[in-house]
Structure 1
Amino acid sequence: MDISKTTVLLQAPTYELHGWRAFQVRAQPDETPTLHLAGWSGGQTRVCSPIAGVDVLLRSCLTRRSKLYSLLAPPAEGALDGSLLELWQKWKSVNHITWELDVTDELGCAFQSAQDEWGLAVEAVPDDFPTGYFAGTVSGSQPKLLARKIGDEFIVGPTAEELRWRHSLCLRLTLQYQRLDKADRPTADDFVYDFLKYWDLTPAERRWIAARL
């Protein structure tokens, strides 16, 4: 599987996959294999159309139908099972797939290589990173914070894992700016408020990104 290290994707994610696996498939022996993802998004199982581009730094895949899949969540451990396996088998039957190869580990290695190259192995989230993405209030004369029940606990604000995920995303977006060709590179404000206009970012996260460009 040939994956370019120079592809830069700035489109906002259409789907955020978790529990995913990556496969190369073909219907006929003389066909060029196509790359597909199978995973979970929003509580539903999904199999994507052929992938046209992979951004190894942003851990994103763009399909031929211009849908962008974010793979910041780790892949599934081992083979597909349950309803996701059922969907994958049905999809292969409908598309007359005769050959498949699980390339999840290969794709994961490409992601890890980019992470190491760009120094993304950050253990601690800096104190100045905004946490408001997970905040919520209830209207009234005395605003009240919203709490979420996670397991047996009620949590106000982000968990440590959620905060690391948001920080990782924002950090990767700052690096995307550096990967753009200098001759065509926009101003920091244009990048944050125009190029990333459709990204689900809080105003504070946008300011944090802009301050590092």
Structure 2
Amino acid sequence: MDSIPEDFPLPVIGAVPGVQPKILVRLIDGRYINDAVTDEAQERYQLCADLVVQLASYAQRKRAEHPDWSRAELQAKLASGLQRKNWGLSNAEIQWISGRACALPE
């Protein structure tokens, strides 16, 4: 199992209003957990990492077809395409995937 890189956008568990300090936790298997890195986060990372691998060759092909596109422009186009797919990815995950796919060497 791959470890989750530091730049991967972990899910935000939630927010609680008020003046007093609060700790947000979830009850999982009879234990209170406040760590965002759970099996759920690992599954999200695996899904996103798989999409990076699949999109990397597409990004390379588009880079060859459109050498006038900047890396930022290509990344924006990939991100836009991912948003249109409606696969349940967060905006942070979409940015991470498109950035990684464009960053892989040619």
Same fold, judged at TM 0.5 (above): yes
TM-score, normalised to structure 1, is 0.35
The one-letter code sitting in structure 1 at the alignment partner of 2:75 is: A
- Aligned residue for 1:180? 58
Aligned residue type for 2:8 = F
Name the one with the larger strand percent.
1
Q: Does 1:209 align with 2:97?
A: yes
Q: Which residue of 1 aligns with 2:77?
A: 190
Question: SS state of the match for residue 128, structure 1?
Answer: coil
How many residue pairs get matched? 90
1:150 is the counterpart of 2:28: yes
Verify the 8 A CA contact 1:173 1:209 in the aligned structure 2. Answer: yes
Q: Name the residue aligned to 1:125.
A: 4
Structure-2 change in CA distance of 1:177 and 1:142 (3 Å): farther
Alignment of 1:87-166 (within 5 A): 122-131=1-10, 133-141=11-19, 144-166=22-44
Q: Please report how far the alpha carbon of residue 201 of structure 1 lies from its aligned counterpart in structure 2 after TM superposition.
A: 2.6
SS in 2 for 1:149: strand
1:172 is aligned with what amino acid? D
Specify the alignment match of 2:47 in structure 1: 169
Structure (1 or 2) with the larger CA radius of gyration: 1
User: In angstroms, what is the RMSD of aligned CA positions?
Assistant: 2.8
Contact 1:136–1:146 under 8 Å retained in 2: yes
Counterparts of 1:200 and 1:144 in 2: how far apart (Å)? 29
Q: Which amino acid aligns with 1:195?
A: G
Report which structure shows greater RCO (CA 8 Å, sep ≥6): 2
Match of 1:103 in 2: none
Alignment of structure 1 residues 24-103 onto 2, 5 Å: none
Partner of 2:88: 200
Q: Deviation of residue 149 (structure 1)?
A: 0.5
TM-score where L is the length of structure 2:
0.63
Percent sequence identity over matched residues?
31
Structure 1, unpaired ranges of 5+ = 1-121
